[in-house]
Amino acid sequence: MTDDLSAVARFLFEAGTLKQTKRTGWWMAGVRDPESVAEHSWRTALLASIIAKLEGADPARAAYLAVWHDSQETRTGDVNHLGKKYAACADPEAVTADQVAGMPEALAAAVRELVAEYEAKESPEAVCARDADKLECLLQGVEYRAQGYANAQRWIDNSRGRLTTKSANELADAVLASDSLDWLRAALGEPSM
């Protein structure tokens, strides 16, 4: 007999709401249609695997942590840094426990453990995933700045100052020394700007 997966199915629909949940901090920078939480989480997972590989940590584990790092925002929304000053912050582990209630216990326990590991900020993979979260914000800020949103510089500077690993700091330096379309120029065989 298989486990009842109806709670998993419900969560999958719930997780899909992150595709429409905007990252609200960018509104303060004047960005009219900012990235979604899901878009942010995808590149964060990619970055986590890269940083972890460079740091000698487990890239798959770091990416796994990053995939789940904002999953609670289906219930809380994206509360930006200023909003957290005034609103009581929901405990990510408590939100996750509610989200996985009714799922097969092996799955629910695995998700609860992932979120707890990320929030504890102790394992090398959690440190890499947290740096990936900040570095993704820096990258997005560079892209928004290139689109004319000068106020994104505050997010670039803040994110840069919060990186902890050597690899994330070096990658940030490389990003800041690049133009957001250098990848396209390279692919087309054109000179960099």
Which residue has tokens 């799922």?
103
6-187 folds as Hypothetical protein af1432 (1.10.3210)
What pLDDT score was predicted for residue 2? 65
| Cα gap 5→59, rounded to integer Å | 29
Judge whether 123 and 115 are in contact, CB under 8 Å. no
Judge whether 51 and 168 are in contact, CB under 8 Å. yes
Q: Which residues of the chain have pLDDT under 50?
A: 1
What pLDDT score was predicted for residue 1? 45
Distance of CA 81 to the CA centre of its chain: 15
Length of the chain: 193
User: Which residues sit opposite 36 in a β-bridge?
Assistant: 22
Judge whether 86 and 133 are in contact, CB under 8 Å. no
Q: pTM of the full predicted structure?
A: 0.93
Q: Any idea where the domains of the chain sit in the sequence?
A: 6-187
Helix (H, G, I), strand (E, B) or coil at 48: helix
Q: What is the DSSP letter of 122?
A: -
